[in-house]
Amino acid sequence: MKKILAILLLMTMVLAACGGGASAPAAPAPAESGEAPAETPAEAPAASRDLFVTVATGPTSGVYYPIGGAFSSIIQNDLGFRSSAQSTGASVENINLILNSQAELAITMADAVTQAYLGFGAFEGEAPKEELRGLMSLYPNYVQLVTMESTGIESFYDLEGKRVGVGAPNSGVELNARLMFEAHGMTYDDIRPDYLNYGEAVDQMRNGMIDAAFVTSGIPNATVMDLGTTNAIRIIPIEGEGMAYLNEHYPFFTANIIPAGTYDNEEDVNTATIMNLLLVHHDLPEDAVYEITKGFFDHLDTIHSAHNAAKENINLDSVMEGMVVPLHPGAERYFQEVGAID
């Protein structure tokens, strides 16, 4: 109960800090495509081009990497800052890179950010990381529990006693996996866990070394698609009592579907989703963050071309969706100017 109250309090604090979230614009409305209006207020003074912006992403097999690469490309090639995209273990590692000033931008899942901001879960026993700041919300990650039809696994409870890839230790995928087992009244003691990132886990599944794997990412996921070209696969649903538990105890999860045809699946698959966020180091100058935020929306086509998940979800209408920490003042200024937030 304390955890639930803390999460709800956090969401209230963030909405208050950021003007209550997205609402009807007072400034010129953004185009339907989500791109910034053709005419925007005058730019802030150019920030120092001595700034080097490291963008912390995820494994090269995942969705974070190409989208983070697009961010880095805009920062360097279009805005004139120096930048690079760094492959990492994803969410928890990325948060620590931000906190330790080893990255300026980082893609993370909202559950890991919540745990860091409030000091529980993967950050149990640590002081709350109240300095964390958001630049914008990105796209939802889908909890994809993948198996091959030959395993006979048809429901979450069929994982009992099976070899399951749960994600790299303390990655966002692995944090999600723990919560999925909790929601179904199970723990890792009920399975044989294998701590692999999902690219490695899918390879092991193909080789018959594991029975199922958690692939929490945008859709479609390239590694799952590749597995499906040579094997009959099944996506195990997250639904019923399990989904109800998540809604009650972890409100950053949302019920959603993996549409029919995503992986040659004949029907929609019920599952849980969680928003990905772009964090920015709190000490970056306001003018620099303003320029970077504006640059992303001035060159939104570059981001959209990186992955289908970006094309369908990253736009000015959703910059606050699922945001669990306050915005950086530079990002907040830009979004207020274009009417994305009050």
Q: Indicate which CATH number applies to the domain containing 147.
A: 3.40.190.10
pLDDT of residue 89: 86
d(CA 176, CA 160): 18
Are residues 160 and 244 both part of a single domain?
A: yes
Q: With respect to residue 342, please indicate whether it lies within any of the assigned structural domains.
A: no
Residue ending a domain, among 258, 274, 290, is: 274
Are residues 284 and 264 both part of a single domain?
A: no
Per the structure block, which two tokens stand in for 4? Answer: 């639930």
Q: With respect to residue 169, please indicate whether it lies within any of the assigned structural domains.
A: yes
- The DSSP code for 311 is H
Q: What is the pLDDT of residues 101-138, one digit of tens each?
A: 999 999 999 999 999 999 998 899 999 999 999 999 99
Are residues 34 and 181 both part of a single domain?
A: no
Q: With respect to residue 302, please indicate whether it lies within any of the assigned structural domains.
A: yes
Q: In sequence order, what are the beta bridge partners of 280?
A: 105, 133
pLDDT of residue 25: 33
d(CA 64, CA 66): 6
Q: What is the pLDDT of residues 3-29, one digit of tens each?
A: 555 555 555 445 445 544 333 333 333
Residue ending a domain, among 274, 300, 316, is: 274
Closest to 146 measured CA to CA, from 81, 65, 211, 243? 211
pLDDT of residue 10: 56
CB 53 within 8 A of CB 292: yes
Are residues 226 and 239 both part of a single domain?
A: yes
Burial environment of residue 161 by CB neighbours within 10 A (0 to 12, 13 to 18, 19 or more): exposed
Residues lower than pLDDT 50 in the chain: 12-13, 15-16, 19-45
- Which DSSP helix (H) or strand (E) runs through 291? helix 286-298
Q: Which residues contact 79 (CB under 8 A, 6 or more apart)?
A: 291, 292, 295
Are residues 234 and 319 both part of a single domain?
A: no
Residue matched to tokens 């006693």: 161
Are residues 330 and 243 both part of a single domain?
A: no
Which structural domain range is residue 28 located in? Answer: 2-138+276-337
Residue ending a domain, among 255, 274, 293, is: 274
pLDDT of residue 42: 38
Are residues 150 and 211 both part of a single domain?
A: yes
Are residues 269 and 287 both part of a single domain?
A: no
Determine how β-strand 82-86 pairs with β-strand 52-56. Answer: parallel
